[in-house]
Amino acid sequence: MRNREITNRRRLHETTREMEAARAHYRGKIIPKPALWVMDAETARLAASNLASRALKAGDAAPDFLLPDAHGNPVRLYSLLRDRQHVAVVFYRGGWCPYCNLHLRGFQRRLPELRDLGAQIVAISPQLPDNSLSTQEKNELAFPVLSDVGNNVARQFGIVFELSDDLVELYRKFGHPLDEANGEGGKGELPVPGTFLIDGNGTIRLAHVDVDYTRRLDPDDVIKTLKELNGAGAAGRTTPERIIKNRQTT
């Protein structure tokens, strides 16, 4: 029993530790200083814009959406909520982003626990469907990976920003041309990475948005919140269809 407890403690926030190691590696050994200046200037600009404070928060109603998965099948948020008590919507920049891949693999690693707690994971990016399929296959993800071409859903969550020309060109020099990843119309915008845990009533119960794309919500924090919510019970739960009807009549 003690060995199991030690193992569990070592696993706690494993994804965060991996991302911190990646940050130190890329910033310390890989990315040239002039490129870091461009990236850091963009992060500082986003922080000054207060974008994160304008994004949807815990207690807000989550907008329903219908998006294609990596195989072209339509996936609707409120349909998922019918099947599961909760859905964690994970917005990521794209499969070209190493931090995004680490974050998604972290959710895959914790997927059995998340499902046991009544949750489904959905990953969303502005990538074209073929690129979403590559992301899913490369990371061996067993949850839906959706394409939000044009960032329409991300915009509803309040997390879309316009990239500077310098950053677009920098990504191109790094081998990440956003027009190829997201289509010509999507080369100048990205979502700020965000994770939203949504309950069966369509209410956001946990939200994390950080303009520093190297900082993400750890899957273990989602698990902790799910345990707290499950302990509180499901009293007063209504169906997503009821919510939609209520919104249409208000």
Render pLDDT for 33-62 as a digit per residue (tens, 0 to 9). 999 999 999 999 999 999 999 999 999 999
Residues in contact with 242: Cβ distance below 8 Å, sequence separation at least 6, in sequence order: none
Give the SS3 label for residue 235. Answer: coil
- The distance of Cα 165 from the centroid of its chain, to the nearest Å, equals 24
The pLDDT of residue 12: 87
Residues 138-197 have pLDDT tens digits of 999 999 999 999 999 999 999 999 999 999 999 999 999 999 999 998 899 999 999 999
Segments making up each domain of the chain, as ranges: 2-248
Instruction: State yes or no: pLDDT of 217 exceeds 70.
Output: yes
Q: Among the listed ranges 8-12, 71-75, 134-138, which one has the minimum average pLDDT value?
A: 8-12
d(CA 52, CA 194): 9
The pLDDT of residue 185: 87
Instruction: State yes or no: pLDDT of 5 exceeds 50.
Output: no
Q: Contact at 8 Å (CB) between 206 and 58?
A: yes
The pLDDT of residue 238: 39
Neighbours of 8 (CB within 10 A): 9
CATH topology of domain 2-248: Glutaredoxin (3.40.30)
The pLDDT of residue 9: 54
pLDDT, average across residues 25-37: 96
Residues in contact with 179: Cβ distance below 8 Å, sequence separation at least 6, in sequence order: 186, 187
Q: Which range has the top average pLDDT, 129-133, 237-241, 242-246?
A: 129-133
Q: How far apart are the first and last CA of the chain?
A: 54
d(CA 148, CA 146): 6
pLDDT, average across residues 211-232: 95
d(CA 66, CA 187): 22
- For residue 248, name the pLDDT band (cuts at 50, 70, 90): very low
d(CA 185, CA 200): 34
d(CA 133, CA 70): 5
d(CA 85, CA 226): 10
The pLDDT of residue 124: 98
pLDDT, average across residues 215-244: 73
Instruction: State yes or no: pLDDT of 131 exceeds 60.
Output: yes
The pLDDT of residue 154: 98
Q: Which of 250, 237, 218 is nearest to 86 (CA)?
A: 237
The pLDDT of residue 84: 79
- For residue 3, name the pLDDT band (cuts at 50, 70, 90): very low
Instruction: State yes or no: pLDDT of 236 exceeds 70.
Output: no
Residues in a beta bridge with 203:
61
- For residue 11, name the pLDDT band (cuts at 50, 70, 90): confident
Q: What is the pTM of this model?
A: 0.89
Average pLDDT, the chain: 90
The pLDDT of residue 234: 47
Identify residue 56 by its one-letter amino acid code: L
- For residue 6, name the pLDDT band (cuts at 50, 70, 90): very low
d(CA 98, CA 145): 16
